[in-house]
Amino acid sequence: MATLDKSSALRLVTLFSGAVKGIAFYPAAHPAIRQPLTDLYAILTTALSQDDHVSWGLIDGIMFFGDHLFIAPSTAIVDLTNRMVEKEISRIIVTSPLGFDELEVFVKLFSSKSARFEALSRHMAETGITSFKLVRHGDESFDQGHDALEDDSDGGNIETYNRSLSAIRTICQDIERGRIPNSAPMIRVVDQMVGITMQEPWALLGLSMIRDYDNYTFNHCVNVGVLSMALGSTLGLDAMSVRDVGIAGQLHDIGKTLISKKILNKPGKLSSAEFTEMKRHPEIGAKIIREMDGLAPHISSVVLGHHLHYNRGGYPEWARKLPFNEMIDIVAIADTYDAITTLRSYQYPVNPKKALDEMQKLTDTILDGEVFARFVEMMGNYPVGTLVRLDTNEIAIVRRPNPLNENAPLVRVLIDGDGLRLHPPRKQALIEPDGSHYARIVSVVDPLLKSIDIGQLIANGDV
């Protein structure tokens, strides 16, 4: 269902939450209630004119409307989420025809804190409400669209990631052969990624943990693109801007294709001359991008500036006073995160949680502090791909953040409490929708100590 765009869907859910909360304090005719109800009715009737029903509710504690998920919830969404959990309601469905009076009565009934699912359903029947249907938690398997968001999309997402790797590899090969690269295959796969990312920014985050140490440059480019798109979507960029920042992320290091492999692969510290040569890659990359068809001009600008730093103390020095948009700060954060969480010949990888702590030290100098704060919010206290020990002594991998409780992400249990590997890993919520706790995270675990290859798990579809 794509009846409303995400902005309109968010406004609808926000209006509903506000009306439910306000009608407990004001009579329905009061302007503080009448106006939100009027606006809510207008949006609902517009949506119902295009579809026979609309719905919103909770999936794993995350509010959705149609195909839109609200990963970073506002206060209004948190209020509505808590109210629906208390009432044991997982979904509200509205069908046509809908009258204004019926909407008003439903909001009034829903506002009663004492009315749970059974009582609310009975009151709805007694008052003749037919355009609203409630689904009790546990009584419905979500439709195919939401099932796809949860599990079935994993294989397709990995295929998309692999197509992206192939496109970047081909671009680099064309550059090495002196050709102007064909951007079309990369653009097609980025468009697919944008479609996924705009609905749920976290959906591809796990893929950014895939590592191929023999093809670091290709993996790194795709991972930076994935992280940049997710962050751009979280920041509220429109689909075209998310597309552009994803392309810029994937192409940010293509200038390295023309840098000596001896310098790129050197295990120790670069000499002054070698570092001077390495610093040419943003300029080389920007020049290549300007020659490629189908790319917006500002993409080359982002690639040029991705090492300029927030305080403009980076390189290239001659570009420090050029005007740049927020995209260079987005790509810089994605680039830094992927780089420090990756094993290199000269670097031991930092786990995702510690990486965020390390990056915090770089804010307002190398990294934009405000943009980084949104990145941390998106990743959660335990970013996707973090290996954790639970107080049940189980070892699990974080598969998705929980926007309602950043200390209780969704996980897959890899090793049970007795130390036995699970095949396949078990999907587990640390906090159930009724508020009960399954387990708590007690520590972060080094994957190498458990002989666990996080990237391989994700590539195999086990996370």
CATH, residue 170 = 1.10.3210.10
- Same domain for 113 and 210? no
CA 447, CA 168: separation in Å to the nearest integer? 28
Mean pLDDT of 348-376: 91
Last residue of a domain, one of 84, 109, 136: 136
- Per-residue pLDDT band for 71 (boundaries 50, 70, 90) equals low
Q: Which residue has the higher pLDDT, 4 or 461?
A: 4
Question: What is the structure's pLDDT at 350?
Answer: 79
**Is the entire prediction scored with pTM above 0.75?**
no
- Same domain for 49 and 110? yes
Nearest to residue 303, comparing CAs of 250, 356, 352, 263? 250
| 147 C-beta neighbours (distance < 10 Å), count | 13
- Per-residue pLDDT band for 143 (boundaries 50, 70, 90) equals very low
Domain assignment of residue 354, yes or no:
yes
CA 304, CA 285: separation in Å to the nearest integer? 7
Q: Strand 62-65's sheet: what is its strand order?
A: 68-69, 62-65, 53-59, 89-95, 132-136
CA 10, CA 118: separation in Å to the nearest integer? 28
- Same domain for 332 and 372? yes
CA 425, CA 151: separation in Å to the nearest integer? 13
Helices 239-251, 327-340: inter-axial angle, 10-degree rounding:
50
- Same domain for 351 and 216? yes
- Same domain for 251 and 350? yes
Burial of 93 from C-beta contacts in 10 A (0-12 / 13-18 / 19+): middle
- Same domain for 99 and 13? yes
Last residue of a domain, one of 341, 358, 379: 379
- Statement: residue 157 has pLDDT above 80: no
Mean pLDDT of 31-56: 88
Report whether 385 contacts 400 (CB < 8 A): no
Averaged pLDDT score across all residues of the chain: 85
Quick: pLDDT tens for 200-209.
677 777 777 7
Q: Which residues pair with 316 in a beta bridge?
A: none
CA 304 → CA 92, 290, 441, distances in Å? 48, 11, 41
Last residue of a domain, one of 136, 171, 191: 136
- Same domain for 57 and 106? yes
For 26, phi then psi, to 5°, come to -125, 150
CA 442, CA 35: separation in Å to the nearest integer? 48
Q: Which residue has the tokens 């009663």?
A: 112
Which of 52-61, 136-145, 205-214, 421-430 has the largest mean confidence?
421-430
Read off the tokens for 199.
């609905």
C-alpha count within 13 angstroms, C-beta hemisphere, residue 85: 19
- Statement: residue 105 has pLDDT above 70: yes
Quick: pLDDT tens for 211-239.
655 566 788 899 999 999 999 988 988 88
Domain assignment of residue 144, yes or no:
no
Domain assignment of residue 143, yes or no:
no
- Statement: residue 1 has pLDDT above 50: no
Mean pLDDT of 81-99: 89
Mean pLDDT of 421-429: 89
Rg (CA), the chain: 24
CA 322, CA 299: separation in Å to the nearest integer? 14
Q: Which residue has the tokens 């998310």?
A: 242
Question: What is the structure's pLDDT at 165?
Answer: 85
Question: What is the structure's pLDDT at 249?
Answer: 96
Q: Which residue has the higher pLDDT, 341 or 259?
A: 259
- Same domain for 324 and 201? yes
CA 335, CA 151: separation in Å to the nearest integer? 28
- Statement: residue 152 has pLDDT above 50: no
164-178, 195-209, 407-421 — which is least confidently predicted?
A: 195-209
Question: What is the structure's pLDDT at 139?
Answer: 62
Domain assignment of residue 142, yes or no:
no
- Same domain for 127 and 153? no
Report the number of distinct structural domains present in the chain. Answer: 3
Report whether 405 contacts 347 (CB < 8 A): no
Helix (H) or strand (E) holding 72: none
CA 271, CA 273: separation in Å to the nearest integer? 5
Nearest to residue 229, comparing CAs of 210, 238, 242, 220? 242
- Same domain for 241 and 295? yes
Domain assignment of residue 73, yes or no:
yes
76-80, 107-111, 144-148, 420-424 — which is least confidently predicted?
A: 144-148
- Statement: residue 242 has pLDDT above 50: yes
Q: Which alpha helices (H) appear in 150-209, and where do they start and end?
A: 153-176, 184-199
Domain limits for position 105: 6-136
Domain assignment of residue 78, yes or no:
yes
Mean pLDDT of 342-360: 77
Report whether 387 contacts 400 (CB < 8 A): no
Sorted by sequence, the CB contacts under 8 Å of residue 122 that are 6+ apart come out as: none
Tally: H helices and E strands in the chain: 18, 10
- Same domain for 234 and 174? yes
- Same domain for 444 and 333? no
